[in-house]
Structure 1
Amino acid sequence: MRRDFVTGPVHRFAAIPVAVTAGIVAVVHLTLAAVPRSWLDEDLMLAIGRHHLDIGAVDQPPLTPLLARLADTLAPGSQLVLAVPAVLATTAAVVLTALVARELGGDARAQSLAALGQATSIAAAQFGHWLTPYTLEPALWTAFLWLLLRRHRTGDDRLLLAAGLVAGVAAQTRFQVFALGAALVLALLAVGPRNLLVRRAIWAGAGIALLVAAPTLVWQAAHGWPQLGMATAVAQENTAIYGHPVVVAAHGLAVTGPLTLGLAVSGLLALLRDPQWRPLRYLAVAYLLLFIAVLVSTGRHYYLTPIYPVLGAVGAVALQRRRERRGPRRAWPVVTAGAVLATAGAASSVLLASPAFAAPLATTTAATWSALPDEDRARTALVAVPYVHAALLDAAPPDLGLPAVHGTNRAYGWFPPPPDTSDAMLLVGSPDLFRPYFTSARPLRTVTASTPLGTYGGLVEENTTIWLLEDRTVTWQQMWSELRDLSVIGR
């Protein structure tokens, strides 16, 4: 059988240097995980896992909330245990990047350099211990592409079925893997090898991916595909934060880190210009298609983060081949710069996720809730808007004694509304939306809290008032259907 791509000799896996690199990454992130933190996206995963777990949600497939639920069940309130899946994924991405380099014919030095590239990614250094979907994605995308590249070398179509399984798991983490699949198909049609697309195994793999992703896709269909509305909401949010899509793209490139970015650029140039890399040129075309899509849609700056490990591995092997032709070059200056910036990125995560931003709102809300008479608490629902406040309160330490939080903003608007047995609302946030549905509204307490304006979008310090609204005049279901929305701050 003709093979689409044949590398040079496959070298032994550089187990010791790669293990040392991965081990350092794991230790660093486990250490950071022990530092008290409150990060919006992780709070949302924990909130959904604790109180709202379902086969789908407005903006999140269920895998990450499920992992948060399992961690919180094993060790309630433990940030270290909560971080374990994230740290495992971050560490696995380092090892998988080295395996991709090996699959492409990389020697021990190329494998080690590729692993160092992923290990010194500024983005991974920042969020490698936060349990979020974008923390899990680099390992999943790299595993998917590694299987695809291994199939190129071996011709074993069973690897395409395994790749489909990994893609399905990735889709249960974030739907962006579907964009990767579409970009790969378009790239294969454009530059080949097109014969890969006639293999039955590749379409069987696609079927497996869709089958694994089916539950959350069914949830989306049953709820009117709210995920599609998130694209507009994200674009509006990024425009408010950055002002222009080019700035978003620049941010995405900056947080890859100098070594990662340098290797990725080397990989792209090799794929596009070097004839020996022609069978894999579709990887470069797929990346460029994704880059354009993110730029045009004003997507998140981290949307392309999962593809850089593979481009970096290609770059490391391309540099190896140049080294074999022209002699060795010193790589330590870029490696050192990458390590220094990655260290700064890891340190910055402590500031970005400082619990000092979240603690006042949670403790004040808990004190206000507990101060209500028992008979009033029994008929009162805890509600918070925008969703950042709701997630923060839902993810608060269990010993604060807060009940499950309801809301009308983002994912909370599609969670079940309060039970009919409640006719009052303890509201954290502005009462303007809710006043028409109650006959009484009075402020109880005011607290100064910092509200995150999206991921990496900075903090807005503002006074948040806690209100008690009583004697509702319509059903909760009607109220929620009229008020739910996807905007970043709520209407």
Structure 2
Amino acid sequence: MRTELIDPVATEGRPGAPDHRFARWPVLSITGLVAALHLAFSASGQHWIDEVYMLAAGRFHLDWGFADQPPLVPLLAAAMDLLAPGSLLVLRLPAVLATAAAVVVTALIARELGADRRAQVLASGAAATGLWVSTVGHWLTPYTVEPLLWLLITLVLVRWIRLHRAGRDDDRLLLLLGVVVGITVQAKFQVLLLCAVLLAGVALFGPRALLRRPALWGGAGIALLIALPTLLWQAFHGWPQLAMGAVVAGESSLLSGGRAGTAASQLVYAGLAGLFLLSYGLWRLLRSAELRSYRFFGIAFVFLYVFFVATAGRPYYLIGLYGIAMAAGAVGLQRRREAVRARGRTPRLSWTAWPAYALSIALAGSSIVASGGLTSLFGAMNDQRIIAETISTYRQLPAQQRSDLGLVVENYISAATIEVGARGTEVPPVHSPHRGYGYFGPPAEHVDSVLYVGKDPSRLREHFAEVRLVREATTSYWLCTGREGPWSSIWPELRFL
């Protein structure tokens, strides 16, 4: 890797170098503030619902893949928990670093497009004040790590294209692209769709010279090699990830207000300043002659926006493409400013950016503060009640009955909550037929009775001679005895996504 990939300032004045110096201190100051704020909110509160699932999957069930996601984030969660068991602050460090790094990468993308220091600051400020990233930026989840990886893919592609236009084909960037794509597949599978759309856009709108570079296909081979373990896991388990599309669509009305909510949220999540830069930048990507070589990014943005709305996907799926549009928008404002000054005038409306950014910062700050309330309302460890109730319910059962008793939990969030919270106690291994837990396996064959944690035990009644309620608290607790049939045949019938 050349020095210019590491130190943007060092390339100033070299052939093929960006037009402007990297706005190091302003951008890094914004980045540091973002990191400090998210770090401050990392140490308190409770696990977010997806966060506790990442921790449980990585700490107790680490594998080459999972039914509903790749293994990278569970692996990170397990590593952080090994360093400092039970520490929210340490657990969330990778998320905070990814959120802060996204600010820097957005500024670098803008610089590659020709942004001066002021435009780089505008782009990085917009990236720092997005509403979605402000809310979730300190939770260790796949959708916190994925945007940075999409931004890195964008940066490498934009840089290769700029160098190609300057007569320098640095194909090592395309090999690096393969590494980043492979790692991203290990975080979330949506990147495969992104790559397909980007390739189609390049084939239709250019630069087609990219497709003729052997290094691009060599990079694709590297990406496949890195992603192969989790792809093989999916293949060996019947590709459960493909069934998750219907699950996500079914949850859309509840989580994001259906297709209309997804359509609005994909834009609102950019924040106030971000939405303006994104909209203007998208228009420039599609129309500007200066950005013609990058037009395929605009096409990809529009296609994926429509696709995620049509399929009722999660609104945050598109976050990783915000950066290129914001960067293009910042460069567009710079071009307008330069054109006005070229006519000997002083830009009249440039002062309006700063009040807009001040309001955007206020909204982003409110989102960070609100994230603590979200974990209190929907967090996985609500007052530790479900953990304490499960432990006490188990202890109240006769000792002879506990010797061959299993613990089965209705849904994966409650299962992860109990498994993480009850570790170190005498509670037996936690099982659940739901989502990824269903693929962690059933209880041991010697387990003839189970304590079922959940409201609806109807599916277990078909496989146990007796199912009776033993406690009604935060949730219901049922004792299921007289197992009828082996777990190897029962579990596939119970398992669901």
Deviation at 1:123, TM superposition (A): 0.6
Q: State the distance in 1 between where 2:48 and 2:429 align.
A: 19
- Among residues 485, 489, 495, which one is paired with 1:474 in the alignment? 485
Aligned partner (choices 463, 471, 479) of residue 445 of structure 1: 471
Equivalent residue for 1:128, pick from 112, 133, 137: 137
Match of 2:265 among 248, 251, 257: 251
How far residue 51 of structure 1 moved from its aligned partner, in angstroms, is: 1.5
Task: Give the Cα separation in 2 of the matches to 1:484 and 1:359.
Answer: 27
2:392 and 2:357 map into 1 onto residues whose CA distance is: 50
The one-letter amino acid paired with 2:450 is M
User: Are residue 52 (structure 1) and residue 66 (structure 2) matched?
Assistant: no
Q: Which amino acid aligns with 2:267?
A: L
Amino acid at match of 1:351: G
Is 2:377 the partner of 1:366?
Answer: no
In the TM superposition, residue 33 of structure 1 has moved relative to its aligned partner by 0.7
**Structure-2 separation of matches of 1:192 and 1:36:** 48
Q: Distance in 1 between matches of 2:49 and 2:317?
A: 17
Detail structure 1 runs of 4+ shifted over 6 Å in the superposition. Answer: none
Alpha-carbon distance change, 403 to 119 in structure 1, aligned in 2, over 3 angstroms: farther
* Cα deviation code 1:231-266 (max 9, x no counterpart): 011111113545541221212211221111111111
Conservation of the 8 A alpha-carbon contact between 2:18 and 2:111: no
Moved more, 60-69 or 146-155: 146-155
Residue equivalent to 1:38:
47
Considering only aligned residues, what root-mean-square deviation do their CA atoms show, in Å? Answer: 1.7
**TM-score computed with the length of structure 1 as normaliser:** 0.91
CA distance in 2, matches of 1:35, 1:400: 24
Mapped to 2, the partners of 1:397 and 1:322 lie a distance apart of 60
Which residue of the partner structure matches residue 408 of structure 1?
433
Match of 2:291, SS state, is helix
1:161 to 165, 172, 175: 175
How far did 1:94 drift?
Answer: 0.8
Give the superposition deviation at 1:399. Answer: 5.6
Written as runs of structure 1 = structure 2, the 5 A alignment for 1:105-116 is 105-116=114-125
Q: Is the 8 A contact 1:358 1:392 kept in 2?
A: no
| Stretch of structure 1 that moved more, 119-128 or 469-478 | 469-478
1:483 matches 2:494: yes
Distance in 1, Cα, partners of 2:46 & 2:152: 29
Q: Distance in 1 between matches of 2:327 and 2:178?
A: 22
- Give the C-alpha shift of residue 357 in structure 1: 3.2
Give per-residue Cα distances to partners, 1:434-477, cap 9 Å, x unaligned. 012112222222223xxxxxxxxxxxxxxx20111122111112
2:285 touches 2:325 (CA, 8 Å); kept in 1? no
Q: 1:102 aligns with which of 104, 111, 116?
A: 111
SS at match of 2:20: coil
SS of the equivalent of 1:381 reads: strand
Aligned position for 1:458: none
1:27-81 CA-to-partner distances (Å, cap 9, x unmatched) read 1111111112131111110110122111001111000000111111111111111
| 8 A contact 1:76–1:398 mirrored in 2 | no
1:138 has 2:147 as partner = yes
Match of 1:276 in 2: 290
Task: Summarize the Cα distance change of 1:9–1:64 in structure 2 as closer, same or farther, 3 Å threshold.
Answer: closer
Deviates more, 1:365-374 or 1:311-320: 365-374
Correspondent of 1:340 among 352, 362, 370: 362
- Whether the 8 Å contact between 1:272 and 1:281 is mirrored in structure 2 is yes
Give 3-state SS (helix, strand or coil) of 1:202's partner. Answer: helix
2:393 aligned partner, one-letter code: T
- Residue pair 1:38, 1:358 contacting (<8 A) in 2 also: no
Aligned AA for 1:435?
R
Corresponding residue number in structure 1 for 2:402: 377
Secondary structure at 2:41 match in 1 = helix
The aligned amino acid for 2:496 is D
Partner residue, 1:318: 332
Q: Which moved more, 1:129-138 or 1:415-424?
A: 415-424
Query: What amino acid sits opposite 2:155 in the alignment?
Result: W
Deviation at 1:403, TM superposition (A): 4.1
Q: Distance in 1 between matches of 2:113 and 2:179?
A: 22
Q: Provide structure 2 residue ranges, at least 5 long, that are not aligned to the other structure.
A: 1-14, 164-168, 341-345
Letter in 1 for 2:152: A
Tell me, yes or no, if the aligned pair for 2:433 and 2:496 is still in contact at 8 Å.
Answer: yes
Shifted more, 120-129 versus 30-39: the winner is 30-39
The CA deviation string for residues 272-314 of structure 1, in whole angstroms up to 9 with x for no partner, is 1211111111110011111111111110011101111222112
Query: One-letter code of the match for 2:129?
Result: T
Query: In 2 relative to 1, CA 337–402 (structure 1 residues): closer, same or farther, beyond 3 Å?
Result: farther
- Show CA shifts across 1:124-147 (max 9, x none): 111111000000011111111101
**Offset of 1:344 from its aligned partner?**
1.1
Kindly provide the CA deviation profile for residues 152-178 of structure 1, in whole angstroms up to 9, marking residues without a partner as x.
122211101101100110110000111
What secondary structure sits across from 1:434 in the alignment?
Answer: helix
Structure 1 residue 426 corresponds to structure 2 residue 440: no
**Greater radius of gyration (CA):** 2
Decide whether aligned partners of structure 1 residues 243 and 120 sit closer, same or farther in structure 2, where only a CA change above 3 A counts. Answer: closer
Q: Helix, strand or coil for the counterpart of 1:443?
A: strand
Which 10-residue stretch deviates more, 357-366 or 212-221? 357-366
Tell me what 1:386 maps to. Answer: 411
**Residue 3 of structure 2: aligned partner:** none
Tell me which of 62, 82, 89 is aligned to 2:71: 62
Comparing 323-332 with 113-122, greater Cα deviation is found at 323-332
Cα distance change of structure 1 residues 131 and 242 upon mapping to structure 2, 3 Å threshold = closer
Using a 3 Å threshold, how does the CA distance of structure 1 residues 7 and 138 change in structure 2: closer, same or farther? farther
Residue in 1 that maps onto 2:476: 465
The residue identity in structure 2 corresponding to 1:353 is T
Which amino acid in 1 is paired with 2:392?
A
How far apart, in 2, do the equivalents of 1:270 and 1:7 lie?
Answer: 23
CA distance in structure 2 between the aligned counterparts of 1:373 and 1:270, rounded to whole angstroms: 71
1:154-207, CA deviations, whole angstroms, 9 ceiling, x for partnerless residues?
221110110110011011000011111011011112211112111111111111
Question: Quick one: which amino acid aligns to residue 326 of structure 2?
Answer: G
In the alignment, which residue of structure 2 is the partner of 1:349?
Answer: 371
- Tell me whether 321-330 or 181-190 shows the greater mean CA deviation: 321-330
Give the residue type in structure 2 aligned to 1:405: V
Q: Which residue of 2 aligns with 1:453?
A: none
- In 2, Cα distance between the equivalents of 1:81 and 1:192? 44
Q: Is the 8 A contact 2:277 2:330 kept in 1?
A: yes
Task: Structure 1 unaligned segments of length 5 or more: list them.
Answer: 1-5, 449-463, 487-491
CA distance in 1, matches of 2:25, 2:426: 48
TM value normalised by structure 2: 0.90
Determine the structure 2 residue equivalent to 1:180.
Answer: 194
Q: Does the Cα contact within 8 Å between 2:179 and 2:222 map onto a contact in 1? A: yes
Distance 2:391 2:176 in 1: 47
> Partners of 1:412 and 1:427 in 2: how far apart?
15
Residues 18 and 112 of structure 2 are in contact (CA less than 8 Å); yes or no, is this contact kept in structure 1? no
